[in-house]
Amino acid sequence: MRRREFIALLGGAAAAWPLSVRAQQRDKLPLIGFLGASTPALASERVAAFTQRLRELGWIEDRTVKIEYRWAEGDLKRSPEIIAEFVRLKVNVIVTHATENVIAAKRVTSVIPIVFAAAGDPVGTGLVASLAHPGGNVTGLSIQATDLATKRLQLLREVMPDLHRLAILVNVNNPASVLEHREVQTAARKISLEVISLEIRKAEDIAPGFDTIKNHADALYVCADPLVNDNRMRINTLALDARLPMMEDNREFVVAGGLICYGPNFPDLFRRSADFVDKILHGTNPKDIPVEQPIKFDLVVNLTTAKALRLTIPESFLSRADEVIE
């Protein structure tokens, strides 16, 4: 072999060796399985908050950690299959949100740590034994859905002093939504509101459901749920057509044309879920990590929708809002 060819061969081998080593190192990185309830586009802000916090903690994608993303795309019946795939991939931790997803994950594996970035009522739905002592392999952040029912009705009554008849939209396939529905009913009756329920199980139930409450309610309370959130454009359109002011749980609904939301800041919850992942990847058992609650809340009002409904929002209300959309 000529000297020049020999040197070239050595150079090629030297160049290839670090690439091979890096590939092997990547294969040995901790692996996170991330299951989103909707789609990448709808969850982009939340995922960005999660990965940004991971970077701050030293977990950089494809350098110090790997993340496998999967999306239920609003069909949470697919979730058990996705979780089973994570088990086959031997992920170190599963990150998800929405009570149904967390329940599915808990049923599929009792070994792999599970972190929920947002769940409606983790104690009431049996996800954890208690907030302070979760037990098992599940922990994360509660959105306090049931605890906020009374506050949301107070805000709605403030905007609509003549409110007498309240419709409640609930996905009865979601255990957390069912619990929230009960709390809303109890809170509504305490302030002498008549209640009518709009129960759905799938997207096709939404339009017919509105036909049953049209002209029979003054306002609509929307229980937190991924299926509902994925169909927020349709719900907002139907509510506007029925002239029903709505109270929702997240900003995305109001940006899409809803009237008012009051609830936890979801990007902040996803950001904080990265701290749970960090603790688990450093060896902490999830049963020893207390469930945390929201610390940031959003009160958002859409004035364009208020005008379309011919509803005047009090200045005192607007002054307290975190965001006013015009």
Q: Give which of 247, 278, 239, 243 is closest to 263, Cα–Cα.
A: 247
Q: Which tens digit of pLDDT belongs to each residue from 142-155?
A: 987 677 899 999 99
Pairwise pLDDT comparison (214 vs 303), residue with the higher score = 303
Q: Give which of 201, 272, 316 is closest to 46, Cα–Cα.
A: 272
Q: H/E element holding 184? A: helix 175-190
What is the value of pTM for the model shown?
0.85
For the segment 164-193, the average pLDDT, to the nearest whole number, is 95
Q: Give which of 184, 113, 153 is closest to 247, Cα–Cα.
A: 153
User: What dihedral angle (degrees, nearest 10) is formed by the CA atoms of 36, 40, 46, 47?
Assistant: 80
Separation between Cα atoms, residue 314 and residue 167, nearest integer Å:
23
Q: Which tens digit of pLDDT belongs to each residue from 200-231?
A: 999 999 999 999 998 999 999 999 998 999 89
**Yes or no: domain 9-144+265-296 corresponds to CATH 3.40.50.2300:** yes
Residue 14 has pLDDT above 90, yes or no: no
Mean pLDDT of the chain: 91
Burial of residue 158 (number of CB atoms within 10 Å: 0-12, 13-18, 19+): middle
Q: What is the pLDDT of residue 27?
A: 62
Q: Which tens digit of pLDDT belongs to each residue from 106-138?
A: 999 999 999 999 998 899 889 999 999 999 999
Half-sphere exposure of residue 75, counting CA atoms within 13 Å on the CB side? 7
The topology under which CATH files domain 149-264+298-325 is Rossmann fold (3.40.50)
Q: Where in the chain is the domain with CATH 3.40.50.2300?
A: 9-144+265-296, 149-264+298-325
Coil/strand/helix, residue 68: strand
